[in-house]
């Protein structure tokens, strides 16, 4: 947990723009946004691997749409 | 992450915390407590003492060996097996449940520490006590009686299933 | 895995003295053993003792039976972190947090929080089971750990939790959290959340 490693990230304009937008919306710096994304990605993968499915549910219609993962 | 607490902070917070409960989350909920009805102290817990004895013999242990394995007081174990109308200590029942691999709640009911909600359970306990007889070697009949009673103890109620 | 630890102080009720303890950012085998061999028997004994006195209210079934498996399964996931407090060679408190949840208070809605999935005090530290309790500050220090983690992760101290009914007052009055009321998605447990300002306030020495 204590050791930190540095990585250089090459992003397209669109990706950087998305990152900046998320950073503002979530009140996080860009590094924190990416670390959060990594957490979520790993967690979702682990749960799908364990046999669970991820859905979006419409608040109004209560319809479910599965989020497909490879 | 930095955590630098001062003694001053800790002292002041302890004064503030006082006698507070702090548990968070469903995982920290306490185990289900059964009905608060007091048990009848005169009722000998024959089925419990018979069960402990047979389970010990099934594991091919002497009383001393079981006391050691379950980390129990030898004297108490002896008086449980001889059914001397003694109140078993809750810790003793817990340790026995762990050693024998049976649900603590059901064993507590058998030991008379809590009142069984299911009247059928008491009947089963009585039937088991009647079918078993304490002799040196476990007979096939005793073994069969013990096996089927273990199945009763391990039966989960609908509520238990829902909670899981 | 590397484990970080920090010196903290518990308040020993009997002597009215502070005693040195350790806050660690992991729940390891020692903690699971202490839970199994010390917490559980003590909890069970205390509850039966209270029942015999007719003072214990009926509570809901605990999900503890699969707790040890759950702790093992989250070890490898970045989304979860665990903490414990040890003192005198014994685990005194444990906590598990989730870093993927978002705030609900309107002023910080959608922003990430450290959500406390689970926080438990050792039975001998709980006044309702053992009077007088052995140590104070376990809850306070674990909440502090959650806030410090929140700050370290860039969440600025925001935390959230579903309090057990007997603990509502602690989170409302002693920790100064905002009560958002019973949550029907969590067995009607009350949901509490801390804002950045409330977190800052918590870290200060309380005024007399």
Q: How far apart are CA B78 and CA C206, in angstroms?
A: 55
Rg, C-alpha atoms of chain A: 16
User: Which of C77, C100, C112 lies closest to A28 in CB terms?
Assistant: C112
Please tell me the predicted confidence (pLDDT) of residue C58.
42
Q: What is the mean pLDDT of residues C70-94?
A: 92
Separation between Cα atoms, residue B151 and residue C141, nearest integer Å: 45
Quick check: B98 pLDDT over 60? yes
Lowest mean pLDDT of A22-36, C56-70, C132-146, name the range.
C56-70
What is the CATH classification number for the domain harbouring B88?
1.10.260.40
Chain B, 49-88: which have a CB under 8 Å from a chain C CB?
none
Specify the DSSP element, H or E, that contains A14: helix A13-26
B156 inside domain: yes
**For position B33, what pLDDT does the model report?**
43
Task: Test A3 with C79 for CB contact under 8 angstroms.
Answer: no
Question: What mean pLDDT value characterizes chain B?
Answer: 77
Structural domain harbouring A41: 13-66
Q: Which residues pair with C93 in a beta bridge?
A: C85, C121
Q: Report the pLDDT value the prediction gives residue B159, as an integer from 0 to 100.
A: 45
**pLDDT score for C59:** 47
- Model pLDDT, residue B116: 64
The count of domains in chain B is: 1
CB C139 within 8 A of CB B20: yes
Over chain A, what is the mean pLDDT? 90
pLDDT of amino acid B73: 84
**Domain presence at residue A5:** no
A3-12, B146-155, C157-166: which is most confident: C157-166
**pLDDT one-digit tens code per residue, B71-86:** 888 888 888 887 665 6
Distance in angstroms (rounded) separating the CA atoms of residues C99 and C7: 24
> In the CATH scheme, what is the homologous superfamily, with its name and number, of domain C5-203?
Gcn5-related N-acetyltransferase (GNAT) (3.40.630.30)
Q: How many residues does chain C have?
A: 208
Higher pLDDT, B136 or C75: C75
Q: Given its phi and psi angles, is residue B138 left (phi above 0), alpha (psi -120 to 50 degrees) or beta?
A: beta
pLDDT mean over A4-8: 90
**For a pLDDT cut of 70, what percent of chain B falls above it?**
76
Number of domains in chain A: 1
Residue B11 lies in a domain: no
Among residues 113-142 of chain C, which lie with CB inside 8 Å of chain B? 116-121, 126-128, 133, 136-142
Q: B114 lies in which domain range? A: 42-163
- Is the CB of C115 inside 8 Å of chain A's CB atoms? no
Of B28-32, B77-81, C99-103, C176-180, the poorest mean pLDDT is in: B28-32
Q: How far apart are CA C6 and CA C26, in angstroms?
A: 12
Gyration radius of chain B's alpha carbons: 21
Residue C118 is nearest to which of B13, B28, B163, comparing CB atoms?
A: B28
pTM: 0.74
CA closest to B22 among chain C residues: C167
Does A7 score more than 70 pLDDT?
yes
């Amino acid at each position: 947990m204590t050791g930190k490693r540095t990585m250089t990230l090459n992003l397209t304009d669109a990706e950087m723009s998305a990152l900046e937008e998320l950073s503002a919306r979530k009140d996080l710096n860009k590094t924190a946004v990416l670390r959060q994304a990594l957490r979520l990605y790993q967690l979702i993968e682990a749960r799908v691997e364990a046999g669970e499915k991820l859905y979006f549910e419409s608040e109004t219609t209560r319809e479910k749409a599965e989020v497909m993962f490879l | 992450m930095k955590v630098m607490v001062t003694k001053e902070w800790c002292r002041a917070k302890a004064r503030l915390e006082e006698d507070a409960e702090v548990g968070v989350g469903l995982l920290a909920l306490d185990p289900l407590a059964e009905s608060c009805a007091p048990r009848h102290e005169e009722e000998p817990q024959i089925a419990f003492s018979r069960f402990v004895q047979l389970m010990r013999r099934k594991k091919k242990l002497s009383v001393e060996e079981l006391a050691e394995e379950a980390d129990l007081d030898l004297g108490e174990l002896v008086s449980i097996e001889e059914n001397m109308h003694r109140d078993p200590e809750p810790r003793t029942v817990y340790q026995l449940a762990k050693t024998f691999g049976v649900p603590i709640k059901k064993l507590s009911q058998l030991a008379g520490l809590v009142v069984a909600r299911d009247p059928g359970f008491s009947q089963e306990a009585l039937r088991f006590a009647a079918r078993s007889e304490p002799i040196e070697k476990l007979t096939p009949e005793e073994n069969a009686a013990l096996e089927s009673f273990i199945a009763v103890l391990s039966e989960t109620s609908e509520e238990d299933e829902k909670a899981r | 895995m590397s484990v970080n630890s920090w010196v903290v102080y518990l308040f020993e009720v009997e002597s009215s003295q502070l005693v040195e303890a350790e806050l660690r950012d992991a729940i390891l085998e020692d903690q699971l053993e202490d839970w199994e061999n010390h917490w559980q028997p003590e909890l069970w004994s205390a509850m039966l003792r209270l029942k015999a006195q007719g003072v214990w209210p009926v509570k809901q079934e605990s999900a503890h039976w699969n707790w040890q498996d759950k702790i093992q399964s989250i070890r490898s996931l970045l989304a979860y972190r665990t903490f414990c407090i040890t003192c005198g060679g014994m685990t005194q408190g444990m906590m598990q947090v989730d870093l993927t949840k978002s705030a609900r208070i309107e002023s910080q809605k959608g922003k990430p929080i450290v959500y406390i999935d689970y926080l438990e005090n050792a039975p001998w530290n709980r006044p309702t089971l053992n009077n007088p309790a052995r140590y104070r500050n376990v809850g306070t220090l674990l909440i502090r750990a959650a806030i410090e983690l929140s700050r370290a992760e860039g969440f600025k101290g925001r935390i959230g939790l579903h309090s057990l009914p007997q603990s509502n007052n602690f989170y409302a009055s002693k920790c100064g959290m905002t009560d958002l009321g019973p949550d029907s998605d969590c067995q009607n447990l009350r949901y509490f959340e801390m804002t950045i300002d409330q977190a800052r306030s918590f870290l200060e020495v309380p005024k007399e």
